[in-house]
Structure 1
């Protein structure tokens, strides 16, 4: 929860270095600011911020938090823009080149951040595919070709996918010790790793019924 809400803290509108409240004080560390902010949020506010994964999380006006746009796809470049396009993950995985994966993620994050800065400067609405919250990398394991989205993964080996996924995250975040250039969100783990309806629909599977 703390790490997810850290993204929210990154977009809090703060005009002064020393705010009246600890979470507004940009001279404090992230842990102190996040802990203070979470204590001031209601359970409903926390739930809404963490549950709005497609589109926008609403603002929390009494805390000075603006809306946050989720869901920018950064897996093969900033795909929703006229930006540089790169090979699918399955091709990058076949390269076995972690430095290449890092440099592609780094270049992607620079373009995503540049577009975001442009939209903010021109007062354009920040919504899907316009923010800096990347739904990348895809760390699913390509275990069944019937799935249909295997090209989005680094391959069938869990270690290999994990190593390249880690490198991709590092490239998206950047090297600043305090701020991230873009935020990453690894997806989908094992949920999307197989056929949609075999042997049962993955969206309706009830493990308790199998006990």
Structure 2
């Protein structure tokens, strides 16, 4: 094979590599453009799907009894939600508001305040209850400090939100709901009986 023929073959190989590289670059640019366009279209597509399926879209949240925007709210009804608190331990515990007016389907936030005035850490758990009882299944909590045990550091004060929504299926005759929390200390040692009184003395036998 002559030197000229080898040079031509090398040149043809380089040209083939260039064509391949250009083709690959074009394909990659097309893929990037398609992915960008798909990502850009996802937002209106998601909103459209939410509109069709009735899925609510949460946009903002305001603490201390504020509301979260929601697309499905029954504004023809108003339910009074009252908040109660009970502390079973060495801490202060209360809601920042005693009540609020809520439309069924409207997401709302209430904040409870707790303060540990002790010089030691405290673990506590909140147990909710509802009145009337029939409202329990219609009171939907999306976020709540009662979902898990809370640990308060020594002298710590904390705000704990509850995000909830009243199911629009709530019976029409229910005009008010009371949400009550009992916040009690857990993991406290059990007091031991004094030595010698661990069990009741046996009754004396007859004739003793």
State the TM-score, normalizing by the size of structure 1.
0.21
More helix by percentage:
1
Higher relative contact order (CA 8 A, sep 6+): 2
Q: Which has the larger radius of gyration?
A: 2
State the TM-score, normalizing by the size of structure 2.
0.21
